[in-house]
Amino acid sequence: MEHYFWFALKSVPLVGNVTFRRLLEHFDTPERALLASAEELATVKGVNATVVASIKNHDYRNFAEQECESVERNGCRVVNFLSGDYPKVLLEIPDPPPYLYVKGELQEAEPAIAIVGSRRASAYGLMNTARLAGELADHGVTVVSGMARGVDTAAHRGALKRGGRSIGVLGCGIDVVYPPENRGLFEEMASSGALISEFPMGTIPLAENFPRRNRIISGISRGVLVVEAAEKSGSLITAEYALEQGREVFAVPGNINYQSSRGTNRLIKQGAKLVECVEDILDELPQRGKKPGGIDSTPGFSLTAQEVAVYTILADAPLHIDDIIVKCALTVGEVSAILLRLELKGAITQLPGKHFAIT
């Protein structure tokens, strides 16, 4: 029942990811937010009278209880964004999910590249996907994709075949195998990487879930490689999210006579980096702290609710301490203490002139 109140608060109508985070920043725990008075709730930014009424009137007990039971029954776990193993890169996006359902292992700040593309990929697309995924795995880079047919499946299998790690981001509940023919891959991913979802247990793979899922694919990655995509496809939505989130966008060029190449070729025209070999991707990844045989990353760290607030603000851009104080509505003393703790955890660094940035 550890996450009972997390499930409860997330189930309240009108409490989306941003509002959830603001409530957590203000009250420290979801339980306190749910038990707060209407007057206290109204002091939180973005919580108007309608949202207050929704929080006070919503009966969350049945959903929260069932969710706790379902998580335990299915052998998965929940990682909230105060946890040390919550992917901190997700805090850089505008609306990170308050928690993720996880099967397998998440490694803090692991270097990751997403590979996405057509569900009906050609032999050319599947071959290059498997090759590049395998070579990324050889260099210690985690391969992220969406567990769909075609390019997604080839990307996951390509990384696992070379002994690498892969993360599958689902557009359904973590207890739902979709597509059904990937049941074996689901089991392998859970033991040799991770499966993650922000959707409640039992959520079926509705079409509207997948664009939302795509922002997580790009959000936990440092770049997105698109392999075969028509002019209107979910893969291009992922690339758009990547650009909005400040991630690199890569594309494998395709045959100009194929419909499935038009999206990728247009991305290249618009400035995506053309990829012919794995070095084209590795050249764009930060090399700080490189360890023998691969790319290293910053050490893991857990955060308090207020530290999440400051870290998220700094994810947009480095800021002067005065601007941080204004944006997070905390006192000078509180902000100074939080910044010091974040520095000691290796989460941020101080720049000249009292400016701060995430590491």
- What pLDDT sits at residue 10? 97
* Closest by CA position to 169, among listed 215, 137, 201: 215
Q: Report the distance separating Cα 340 and Cα 17, nearest Å.
A: 27
Spacing of C-alpha 33 from chain mean position: 25
Looking at this protein, which amino acid is placed at residue 63?
F
Domains along the chain with CATH numbers: 1-68 (1.10.150.20), 104-282 (3.40.50.450), 305-358 (1.10.10.10)
Q: Quick one: pLDDT at residue 298?
A: 40
Considering only CA atoms, which of 153, 97, 163, 102 is closest in space to residue 130?
A: 153
Q: Write the DSSP assignment of 279-310 as a string of letters.
A: HHHHTTS--TT-BTTB---PPP----HHHHHH
Residue 287, pLDDT score:
56
Task: Please work out, in degrees rounded to the nearest 5, the angle formed at the alpha carbon of residue 22 by the alpha carbons of 2 and 214.
Answer: 80
> What is the per-residue pLDDT across 190-227, written as a single tens digit (0 to 9) for each?
999 999 999 999 999 999 999 999 999 999 999 999 99
The low-confidence residues of the chain, meaning pLDDT below 50, are: 288-299
- With CA atoms as reference, report the closest residue to 6 among 30, 39, 24: 30
Q: What is the DSSP string of 10-58?
A: HTSTT--HHHHHHHHHHHSSHHHHHHS-HHHHTTSTT--HHHHHHHHH-
What's residue 354's pLDDT? 85
Read off φ and ψ for residue 304, nearest 5 degrees.
-85, 170
**DSSP class per residue in 129-169:** HHHHHHHHHHTTPEEEE---TTHHHHHHHHHHHTT--EEEE
| Percent of the chain that is helix, strand, coil (3-state, to 5) | 45, 15, 40
Which DSSP helix (H) or strand (E) runs through 246?
none
Q: How far is CA 55 from CA 10, 15, 29, 242, in A?
A: 10, 8, 15, 33
For residue 210, the model assigns a pLDDT of 94
198 DSSP 8-state letter:
S
**Strand arrangement, sheet containing 319-320:** 319-320, 355-358, 348-351
Peptide bond connecting 299 to the previous residue in cis, omega within 30 degrees of 0: no
Q: What is the pLDDT of residues 268-294, one digit of tens each?
A: 999 999 999 999 999 988 753 343 344
* Cα separation, 77 vs 271, whole angstroms: 39
* CA angle in degrees (0–180, nearest 5) for 129-115-156: 70
